[in-house]
Amino acid sequence: MAEVANIVRVRRPFIVERRRIAGLTQEALAAALGVQRSTVARWETGATEPML
């Protein structure tokens, strides 16, 4: 279970960083992925995880 927690801690900053490097807002990323902006926000805060 500790391994999963470590992955989650790494994934959240990665999503934020890559989105910013790409010059995308949460709204733009959400539109490109076909999800709501609030979904992207929850991924970035670690409240939920994207389905792989």
Give the pLDDT score at 5.
Answer: 54
- Note whether 40 and 29 are within 8 A (CB): yes
Q: How far is CA 11 from CA 3, 31, in A?
A: 12, 20
pLDDT, average across residues 18-45: 95
- The pTM of this model reads 0.76
Q: With beta carbons less than 8 A apart as the criterion, state whether 23 and 5 touch.
A: no
Residues 6+ apart with CB under 8 A from 36: 30
First to last CA, the chain: 18
User: Is residue 48 scored above 60 in pLDDT?
Assistant: yes
**% of residues, the chain, pLDDT over 70:** 79
pLDDT at 10 (0 to 100): 60
